[in-house]
Amino acid sequence: MTSQLTGAEPGATAPAASGHTLEQGQDEASAWLERQQRRRRLLGQVGVPVVALLLVVVFSIIADNFLSVDNFQTIASDAALPAIVAIGLTLCLAAGEFDLSLSGVAGLATVSAAQLLSPMNLTTISAIVIVLGVGILIGMANGFLVGYLGLPALIVTIAVGAILNGAQYVVTDSQQIYGGFPEGLVAFCRGSVGPVPNLALIALVVAVLAWLTLEHSTLGRHVRAVGGNPVAARIAGINNARVKLYVFILSAALTTLAGFLFAGKQTTAYPLSGLDVLLPSFAACFIGAAMFKIGEFNVPGTIVGVMIATITSNGLILMSVPAYASYFFQGAILLAAILFARLVSTERSLT
C-alpha cells in the first residue's frame, strides 16, 4: 500500500554520479539518500503530534469550556466509536485494499441492533451475536469478491455499501426506532470507569489487540507483506486472497461493533442516520500513516488521527461554528493528511 499511498516513483532520483570512481559516486549517492530520508522521517515523527498539540492550544485559547475534564470526557467518548471503525479500516488499508462500505455496515448494525433490542425485545447478548454474525457475513462477501474473484475493492465496497443503505430501510420498515433499549446496555454505553468512558476503554482494548495483530501476529505480517508488495508476497508463499478475506472480515466486524454500541449510546435509530464514519476514518488512517511508521498504516497513528479529527470537530462545536463547516474541515484534514504523508515518505531507495 505504501507506494499507492505516497505515489512515490519506484525509481531512484539520486543525483547523477559526479565522482570519477564508481565507489565515490555510490557513496555520495547513498549518503545523500540517507540524509534525505532522515530529514523526512524526523518531519513525520514530529509533524503530526505538533499539529495535535497546536489544535489543543488554539482551542483552549479561543473556545470557552474546551479545557475542562468534562469536555475531555466528551472527546474521549465521541472518539471511541470512530476509532474502532478506523482501526478496522487500518487493517484493510495495510493490506492495500479500500473499504468504502463502512458507512453502510455501521448504519445497518445500528438499525438492526435497535430493531432487535427494542421492538423485538431480544436480550443484548443475542442481539450482539446476530448483528456481529451479519457483519462478519458482509465482510466475507467483500473479501470473497475482492480477494478470490479479484474485483476492484473500490467498486465492490461502494456497491455493497449502497445495498446495505437500502437494507436499513427494510430492517426498520422505514420507521424511526426510539427508546425501549435494555437499561444495562444503555448504562454501559453512557457510563464510565472513574473519569474514563466505557466506550473509550473498549476502543483501547480493540486498539491494543489490533496493534498486536498488525505488528506481531502471523496474520499481521502477511497483511503488511501483501500491502507492501503483493507480487513478492505471493512468491514468498502467502495466500493473498485469504489475507484479504480476513482483513475485510475484521474491518466489517469492528465497524459492526461500533454501530451496535452507537445504538446503545443514542437509544434511537433510523435509516441512514448511523455513525458518520467514512471520511473521518480515512482521514485518521492517512494522518496515522504520516507518523510512527512513516508511509505505513499503523494502529497508534490511526488513534492519533482520530483524536485530531475529534478534537477539531469538538472545538468547532464549542465555538458555535455552523454544522456544515465541519464538512469543510473533514475534507481539508483528509487532503492535508495525504499531502503530508507524501511529503514525509521515505519510499525511495538506491536499488
Partner 1 sequence: MTGTSLAEEMALEVRSATQYYPGVQALTEVDFTLRAGEVVGLVGHNGAGKSTLTRIIAGVERPVSGEVLVAGRKMTFASPRDALDAGIAVVPQQLNLVPSMSVSDNITLGVSGRRRDLVERAARVAGTLGISDLLGRRAGDCAASVQRLVMIARALLRAPSIVLLDEPTAALHPAEVKRVFAAIERMRSEGLGVVFISHRLEEVLGFCSRVVVLRHGGVVAERETTGMPKDELGELIAGRKLEALAESEVVEPEGAPVLTVTGLAVPPVVGRFDVDLRPGEVVGLAGLVGAGMSEVLECLAGLHREYKGEVRVGDERVSLRSRQASMKAGIAYIPDDRSHNGIIGNLTVATTATLVNDRDYRVMSRIPLVVAKREQSAVDAVLSKLDIRPASVARNRISTLSGGNQQKVLIARALMSGARVFIINEPTEGVDVAAKRDIHDRIREMAGAGGAVLVASSEPDELADLCDRVLVMYEGRIVLELPGHEATPEAITKACLVGA
Q: Which residues bind partner 1 (CB under 8 A)?
A: 2, 10, 16-17, 22, 25-26, 29, 212, 216-219, 221-222, 224-225, 227-229, 231-239, 293, 295-296, 347, 349-351
Determine the Cα–Cα distance for residues 253 and 282; give it in Å rounded to an integer.
17
Residues 208, 90: Cα–Cα separation, whole Å: 13
CA atoms within 13 A on the CB side of 284: 32
**Which C-beta is closer to partner 1: that of 107 or that of 288?**
288
CB of 324 to partner 1, least distance (A): 39
CA 280 → CA 42, 156, 275, distances in Å? 25, 20, 10
Q: 150: exposed, middle or buried (C-beta count within 10 Å: 0-12, 13-18, 19+)?
A: exposed
At residue 69, φ and ψ (nearest 5 deg) are -60, -45
Nearer to partner 1, 186 or 233 (CB): 233
Q: How far is the CB of 311 from partner 1 (least distance, A)?
A: 29
> What whole-number distance in Å separates Cα of residue 249 and Cα of residue 253?
6
Least distance CB 67 / partner 1 (angstroms): 39
Name which of 170 and 212 has its Cβ closer to partner 1. 212
**In the complex, minimum distance from the CB of residue 309 to partner 1, in angstroms, rounded to a whole number:** 25
Q: Give the torsion through C-alpha atoms of 146, 150, 154, 156, to 10 deg.
A: -60
Beta bridge partners of 197: 192
In the complex with partner 1, the residue whose CB is nearer, 219 or 317, is: 219
Question: If you ran DSSP here, which 8-state letter would residue 295 be given?
Answer: T
CB of 349 to partner 1, least distance (A): 5
Q: What's the min distance (Å) between Cβ of 304 and partner 1? A: 19
How many other C-beta atoms are found inside a 10 Å radius of the C-beta of residue 193?
A: 9
Find the shortest distance in angstroms from Cβ 254 to partner 1. 19
Our CB check for partner 1 shows the closer of 27 and 173 to be: 27
CB 121 within 8 A of CB 179: no
Q: CB-wise, 17 or 42, nearer to partner 1?
A: 17
CA 268 to mean position of chain CA atoms: 25
* CB 34, min distance to partner 1, A: 8
Q: Which is nearer to partner 1, 121 or 349 (CB)?
A: 349
- Residue placing its CB nearer to partner 1 in the complex, 87 or 189: 87
Burial of 254 (0-12, 13-18, 19+ CB in 10 A): buried
